[in-house]
A = this chain, B = another copy of it.
Amino acid sequence: MSLHIHRLVIVGTGLIGGSLALALKQAGMVDEVVGLGRRRETLDQAKALGLIDVIAGSPAETGDADVVMLATPMAQMQSVLQQIAPHLGEHTIVTDAGSTKRDVIAAARELLGAKFSRFVPGHPIAGAESSGPQAARADLFIGRNVVLCPVAETDTAAAETVTALWQGTGAQVVRMDAARHDRIFAAVSHLPHLAAFALVDDLAARPEAEDFFRYAASGFRDFTRIAASHPEMWRDIALANREALLAELSAYMNKLGEIASALDKGDAAALEQVFSRASQARRNWGTK
């Protein structure tokens, strides 16, 4: 399928939205990119950087777009959907780049009404320690996974368009059920972030904090890197995926309790068993 988009509206012109615009421009797949957002400064910066061609004056300007990409923080998804819903054209496809999917689907189903069939839920798996328009890169999605979670109502052609759009950036598109998506990312993304935040907050509050950071080495550096992530963004992701994340947190705390109990008893065999399984699994993954 060869895709050409006349008018692409990007709501939220930061790392993800900006990189998508750059990649599609570089692929010659889009004529005009329109930026929409809350902060004029961000939009001006996105325009100056060549990420977008035009700044939309209001949500009404999404009306004649072929595709509207919602690349805003999770907390704004609902209000953006509300604002654009009345203006969306008959054939406009809406998609998103949010880190959780069940909550966005529920909001879109409620707010888009009959137009919900042209909403294609998506999640590009592209790391984002940096953020903002200046962090955008045309090659951000090359070789990355993009998960799409179409539901029963989703229009087949709309899902195919969004698939082709992401493939145009060099990404691999995978489809899966939204509940499965949310479970997987609770485990491999949301839980590790919480675990890293917890460790750093725990240590930073101690009287010995300065010593801790002074003697911490490369293992600590890697383990806690994600604790530098954006606090509000992760607050919103955690709340949006609360149910799956609580289950993961509980399983993780059980495993830590198991290790603490083995350590308390001096049970060397039990410790070695956990460490060996983990080490083997991590090495297998590392070489894939």
Contact = CB atoms under 8 A, between A and B. Distances in A.
A281 B227 CA distance: 9
Contacts of A232: 272, 275
B285 A213 contact: yes
Contacts of A255: 198-199, 201-202
Interface stretch (A51-59, A161-169, A187-195): A187-195
A205 B272 contact: no
B263 A201 contact: no
A268 B281 contact: no
Contacts of A219: 127, 189, 192-193, 225-226, 229
A2 interface: no
A150 B128 CA distance: 45
A22 to B, nearest CB: 20
Contacts of A230: 279
B275 A263 contact: no
A46 B210 CA distance: 39
Contact of A200 (B193, B271, B282): B282
Contacts of A238: 263, 271
Contact of A184 (B189, B215, B277): B215
Contact of A228 (B197, B242, B274, B282): B282
A42 B60 CA distance: 73
Given A192-B199, A245-B263, 14 more contacts: A127-B219, A189-B216, A189-B220, A193-B219, A197-B275, A197-B278, A199-B278, A204-B281, A219-B226, A224-B282, A229-B279, A231-B278, A238-B271, A250-B260
Interface of A: 125-127, 144-145, 147, 180, 183-185, 187-189, 191-206, 208-209, 211-213, 215-232, 234-235, 238-239, 242, 245-246, 249-257, 259-260, 263-264, 266, 268, 271-272, 274-279, 281-283, 285-286, 288
Please give me the 10 A-B residue pairs with the lowest Cβ-Cβ distance, nearest first.
A204-B281, A231-B275, A200-B278, A188-B216, A201-B278, A231-B276, A197-B278, A228-B282, A227-B282, A192-B223
